[in-house]
């Protein structure tokens, strides 16, 4: 976590921070929005087909409160927030599975010493497609400085747009423009005067999750509720917030930080079989430092097929031309799964010369080397008592590596290795 600074490195505001969040958190949240059918609600708010009020999704299992931002008037920002305890807890559990605890620890590290407990007390999706005028404001009363924090988690951004957030320096009044990035949280306290920048998107909108976090006490609970806009909790829920304060999401116990944020089972987020195969892949990576799965037992074959499936599903997800097939297969590579694989360094796009192909090439090279040691030459022909696939491999090497021009670094290395065992790239070569 680091303070928000301008291009010269000067701090803009001592209560405004930028923090990289776990890769899996935005992935799980994007899948959550998809699973709970919220994209259509977001788009409906912007195109006017859905009006402010309470809306139920999934046969009434989850209720959402929709409110249009009152100021400035020349904007179409809508707030979509949980309308009851079940929906609030459901969203919070998914955030817990995305390791929101890392963010809570980071906020705890910048809070003053008397802040020993923190509660996530308000969750709001904000969707906007146009914002006409800059309106600088702060989110909480200044008396809550160090005790109340606003976190912005970008989920859908317009990459080519200008910076979306303006933060004003309290002393110089200079304005710093901040570009949102998925995977980076913007965190600020009550002394941070900020505004959405003037913007107008075409045929799209931006979505962020706004998370309100506070050290809740009897002395400040009324001040916190003054700025609550949600239906749950409401401005009158003093008792509810005080109950939450007694079971905080983050606290300090005997000098150590602990988090108690509800989570979903990994099988719910990723799928049982997928989680099992990911655990196998991670164990291979930890043991060998690579994702090359050796030949051997059935589990190795199964894991290699699973790895290939992940790469195929990823390519279908981001295919430039969409078909019913690519859409169906692409959905199997959820954002959470993609983030989980990326978190251990998994490569979705690999050269044909790397990974398992490199391992197979080395197996054949070692067979050719054994032939050279036994026979003093490397002119492997069908007449020799060698496996047929080795003869075919030799023929392929002669075609692919005969000329040095236009060879990749890996291919040049392979060519030199073959030359070291007397390999001839032409039967007429002397």
| Model confidence pLDDT, tens digit, residues 117-152 | 999 999 999 999 999 999 999 999 999 999 999 999
What pLDDT score was predicted for residue 350?
Answer: 66
Using pLDDT thresholds of 50, 70 and 90, give the confidence band for residue 298.
Answer: low
426: in domain: no
**What is the average pLDDT across 24-45?**
96
Asked if residue 23 has pLDDT above 60, the reply is yes
Q: Output the six-digit token pair for 268.
A: 């719910």
What's the domain count of the chain?
A: 3
Asked if residue 430 has pLDDT above 60, the reply is no
Q: Output the six-digit token pair for 249.
A: 């999401």
DSSP sequence for 342-408: HHTT--SS--TTSTHHHHHHHHHHHHHHHHHHHHSS----TTSSS-HHHHHHHHHHHHHHSSSTT--
Q: What is the pTM of this model?
A: 0.82
Residues 257 and 336 grouped into a single domain: no
Using pLDDT thresholds of 50, 70 and 90, give the confidence band for residue 356.
Answer: low
In angstroms, the CA 173 to CA 165 distance is: 15
What pLDDT score was predicted for residue 366?
Answer: 86
Highest mean pLDDT, choosing among 44-48, 318-322, 324-328? 44-48
427: in domain: no
Long-range contacts of 404-408 (CB under 8 A, 24+ apart): 408/351, 408/353
206: in domain: yes
φ and ψ of 382, to 5 deg: -60, -25
Q: Answer positive or negative: Cα dihedral of 396, 397, 403, 404.
A: positive
Count Cα atoms within 13 angstroms, Cβ side, for 151: 25
Residues 92 and 111 grouped into a single domain: yes
Residues 19 and 121 grouped into a single domain: yes
**What 3-state DSSP class applies to 182?**
coil
- Give percent of the chain above pLDDT 90: 67
Lowest pLDDT segment from 53-67, 84-98, 118-132:
53-67
Residue 98 sits in which domain range? Answer: 2-262
**What is the average pLDDT across 47-63?**
90
What pLDDT score was predicted for residue 296?
Answer: 56
> Quick check: 190 and 141 in contact, CB under 8 A?
yes
Residues 148 and 296 grouped into a single domain: no
What pLDDT score was predicted for residue 151?
Answer: 98
- Number of Cβ within 10 Å of residue 401's Cβ equals 19
Lowest pLDDT segment from 172-176, 362-366, 409-413:
409-413
Last residue of a domain, one of 343, 376, 400: 343
Q: 199, 204, 194, 118: which is closest to 152 by C-alpha? A: 194
Q: Output the six-digit token pair for 428.
A: 């007429």
430: in domain: no
DSSP sequence for 279-340: HHHHHHHHHHSS-PPPS-SHHHHHHHHHHHHHHHHHHHHT-SS--HHHHHHHTTS-HHHHHH
348: in domain: no
In angstroms, the CA 83 to CA 85 distance is: 7
Highest mean pLDDT, choosing among 224-233, 301-310, 377-386, 399-408? 224-233
| Model confidence pLDDT, tens digit, residues 201-225 | 999 999 999 999 999 999 999 999 9
Residues 191 and 335 grouped into a single domain: no
49: in domain: yes
> Quick check: 36 and 83 in contact, CB under 8 A?
no
| Model confidence pLDDT, tens digit, residues 244-282 | 999 999 999 888 999 999 999 999 999 999 999 999 999
Asked if residue 192 has pLDDT above 90, the reply is yes
Residues 310 and 402 grouped into a single domain: no
> Quick check: 275 and 266 in contact, CB under 8 A?
yes
Residues 247 and 273 grouped into a single domain: no
**What is the average pLDDT across 176-188?**
96
E strand intervals along 215-260: 250-253, 256-259
Asked if residue 342 has pLDDT above 90, the reply is yes
Asked if residue 428 has pLDDT above 60, the reply is no
In angstroms, the CA 107 to CA 213 distance is: 9
Last residue of a domain, one of 212, 243, 262: 262
Asked if residue 73 has pLDDT above 60, the reply is yes
Asked if residue 65 has pLDDT above 90, the reply is yes
- Give percent of the chain above pLDDT 70: 96
Owner of token pair 């109950």 = 243
Using pLDDT thresholds of 50, 70 and 90, give the confidence band for residue 190.
Answer: very high
76: in domain: yes
Residues 324 and 368 grouped into a single domain: no
Burial class (CB in 10 A: 0-12, 13-18, 19+), 256: exposed
3-state secondary structure 61-74: CEEEEEEECCCCCC
What pLDDT score was predicted for residue 383?
Answer: 78
What pLDDT score was predicted for residue 178?
Answer: 96
Residues 10 and 38 grouped into a single domain: yes
Asked if residue 382 has pLDDT above 90, the reply is no
In angstroms, the CA 244 to CA 266 distance is: 25
Residues 40 and 85 grouped into a single domain: yes
424: in domain: no
Last residue of a domain, one of 245, 262, 279: 262
Residues 193 and 224 grouped into a single domain: yes
In angstroms, the CA 390 to CA 399 distance is: 14
Residues 218 and 242 grouped into a single domain: yes
């Amino acid at each position: 976590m680091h303070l928000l600074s301008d291009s010269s490195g000067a701090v803009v505001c001592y209560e405004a921070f930028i923090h990289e969040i776990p890769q899996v958190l935005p992935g799980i949240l994007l899948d959550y929005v998809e699973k709970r059918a919220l994209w259509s609600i977001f788009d409906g708010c912007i195109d006017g087909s859905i009006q402010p009020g309470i809306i139920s999704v999934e046969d009434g299992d989850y209720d959402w409160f929709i409110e249009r931002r009152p100021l400035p008037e020349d904007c179409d920002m809508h707030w979509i927030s949980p309308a009851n305890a079940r929906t609030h807890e459901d969203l919070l559990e998914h955030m817990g599975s995305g390791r929101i605890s890392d963010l809570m620890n980071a906020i705890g590290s910048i809070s003053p010493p008397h802040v020993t407990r923190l509660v996530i007390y308000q969750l709001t999706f904000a969707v906007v497609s146009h914002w006409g005028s800059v309106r600088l404001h702060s989110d909480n009363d200044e008396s809550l400085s160090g005790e109340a924090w606003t976190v912005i988690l970008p989920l859908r951004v317009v990459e080519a747009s200008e910076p979306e957030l303006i933060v004003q320096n309290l002393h110089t009044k200079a304005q710093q423009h901040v570009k949102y990035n998925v995977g980076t949280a913007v965190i600020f306290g009550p002394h941070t005067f900020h505004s959405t920048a003037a913007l107008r998107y075409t045929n799209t909108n931006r979505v962020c999750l706004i998370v309100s976090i506070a050290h809740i006490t009897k002395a400040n609970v009324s001040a916190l509720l003054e700025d609550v806009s949600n239906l749950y909790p409401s401005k009158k829920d003093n008792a509810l917030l005080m109950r939450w304060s007694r079971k905080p999401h983050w606290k300090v116990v005997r000098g150590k930080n602990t988090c108690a944020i509800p989570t979903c089972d990994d099988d719910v987020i990723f799928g049982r079989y997928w989680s099992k195969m990911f655990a196998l892949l991670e164990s291979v990576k930890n043991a060998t430092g690579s994702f090359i799965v050796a030949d051997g037992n059935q589990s190795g074959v199964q894991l290699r097929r699973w790895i290939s499936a992940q790469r195929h599903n990823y390519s279908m997800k981001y295919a430039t031309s969409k078909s019913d097939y690519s859409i169906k297969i692409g959905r199997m590579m959820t954002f959470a799964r993609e983030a989980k694989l990326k978190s251990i360094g998994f490569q979705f796009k690999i050269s044909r010369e790397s990974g398992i192909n490199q391992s197979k090439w080395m197996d054949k090279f070692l067979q050719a080397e054994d032939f050279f040691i036994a026979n003093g030459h490397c002119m492997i022909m069908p007449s020799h008592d060698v496996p047929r696939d080795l003869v075919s491999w030799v023929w392929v090497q002669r075609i692919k590596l005969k000329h040095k021009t236009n060879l990749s670094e890996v291919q040049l290395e392979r060519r030199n290795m073959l030359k070291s065992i007397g390999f001839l790239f032409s039967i007429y070569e002397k």
